[in-house]
A and B are shown apart, each in its own frame.
Chain A
Amino acid sequence: EAGVAQSPRYKIIEKRQSVAFWCNPISGHATLYWYQQILGQGPKLLIQFQNNGVVDDSQLPKDRFSAERLKGVDSTLKIQPAKLEDSAVYLCASSLAQGAEAFFGQGTRLTVV
């Protein structure tokens, strides 16, 4: 069974630039999560989708971050414009249903300079 795929693995951008991350969840998984993991901290939930609907985005900085999950499968997370404090690893995860075990991709390491 293929795991959660994320791209790119690494990205370096200058502040005020924009960046987008892509996630392909495990086939059949209805729930998709995006987490931000700053160095030395635990993952922080940015947004949670159930199929193509948003379940929770209370911690998503909506003035600069946006996410979508078209057709309830792949998802993209965008940052525009980026700030230095956005430097982190962005993790995508999926699960069969809400509350079930989540499977994680390898993450995208973003460095904003």
Chain B
Amino acid sequence: AQSVTQPDIHITVSEGASLELRCNYSYGATPYLFWYVQSPGQGLQLLLKYFSGDTLVQGIKGFEAEFKRSQSSFNLRKPSVHWSDAAEYFCAVVNDYKLSFGAGTTVTVRA
């Protein structure tokens, strides 16, 4: 079955430390890939997207993600986390014109 997997349900990171969130997909071809962030009580905001070309993409709020075809992964990274980055993060994939989401990773930032 086609799916998007986010292996980490919850990650706690210290403010100023680096952050990496994992995402794996199981589609055959190279899909379109996205990362969204959701703050409490809010809708989803697009952080970045990958369609083709350079496998390292830059997004908003200092986030970046790297597409690795050999690992079917699209991991999200941020070098230095701010307290405002505490939120839920969703990896999403478009395949066959449908946008499907992973279960999400909750990020807690400690002072």
Contacts and interface: CB of A to CB of B under 8 A. Distances in A.
Interface residues of B, number: 22
Interface string B32-61: 101010000111111001000000000000
A98 B97 contact: yes
Contacts of B97: 48, 55-56, 98-99
Contacts of A54: none
Nearest to A6: B43
At the interface, is chain B mostly helix, strand, loop or mixed? strand
Interface of B: 4, 6, 32, 34, 36, 41-46, 49, 90, 94, 97-104
Given A43-B44, A104-B45, 16 more contacts: A42-B90, A42-B101, A42-B103, A42-B104, A43-B90, A48-B99, A91-B44, A93-B44, A101-B46, A102-B34, A102-B99, A104-B36, A104-B44, A106-B41, A106-B42, A107-B43
Interface of A: 4, 33, 35, 41-45, 48, 55-56, 91, 93, 98-99, 101-107
